[in-house]
Amino acid sequence: MSDNKAAYNSEIYDARIASVLPYYREYHAQVIDLVRALNLESPRWLDTGCGTGTLAVRALEEIPGARLTLSDPSEAMLDVARQKLSGRDVRFFGIPSQELPFDGEFDIVTAIQCHHYFRPKEREAAVRRCRRALREGGIFVTFENIQMNSPESEALALRRWSKFLADHGASPEEIQMHLARRGTEVFPITIEEHLALLKQCGFRSVNLLWASYLQAGFWAVK
């Protein structure tokens, strides 16, 4: 039985994720580059759906003054994150995005590859809680699986992703497992729907940050 909502258990997640999500490490590079542009010496940063803490480790390497709070509903994933960040001044919370208790506390909130597990009402609740956690002028950054704008485009994108998976060692059965998760375990929405949701949740500026394959990144200003 899986110990989290991702395709792989926590003990193998780090070893497998870059062979499943094209440009996975680029997501983190884009986030950190955007945070650096804020010119904050010690940004207060919440990473919700933090998983195994990979983004947090890289953030502290590249922005040593960052004050990090990590949250994830999977205790197994948090245990890995705690091990990676042992000895660092980082707060941990075992709660999902839609239950975040913070109000105006952070300069940055990130949600990387975690809200696509939610159906529409849960996703909206999660985004609203992320917004509430930010100070005025704070930045929300999210990367998610996306859906294409037509069945023809979706089919082409899925064929392209299937080839990527095969080229990175996935068996036909494993490829089918990943494809079968779309619409049953992960619920992607289009880029346009992402931008509309951010506006609906009250962000005053919403922007596309990055996109490739079946993933996209967005940033929004409270």
**pLDDT tens digit string along 62-85?**
999 999 999 999 999 999 999 999
Cα–Cα distance measured from residue 126 to residue 118, given in angstroms and rounded to the nearest whole number: 9
Structure tokens at 127: 């985004």
pLDDT tens, position by position, 118-168 = 999 999 999 999 999 999 999 999 999 999 999 999 999 999 999 999 999
Is the pLDDT at 212 greater than 70, yes or no? Answer: yes
Cα–Cα distance measured from residue 220 to residue 222, given in angstroms and rounded to the nearest whole number: 7
Nearest in space to 212 (alpha carbons), one of 32, 6, 23 = 23
| CATH architecture type of domain 10-221 | 3-Layer(aba) Sandwich (3.40)
- Residue-range domain boundaries for the chain: 10-221
pLDDT band at 17 (very low <50, low <70, confident <90, very high): confident
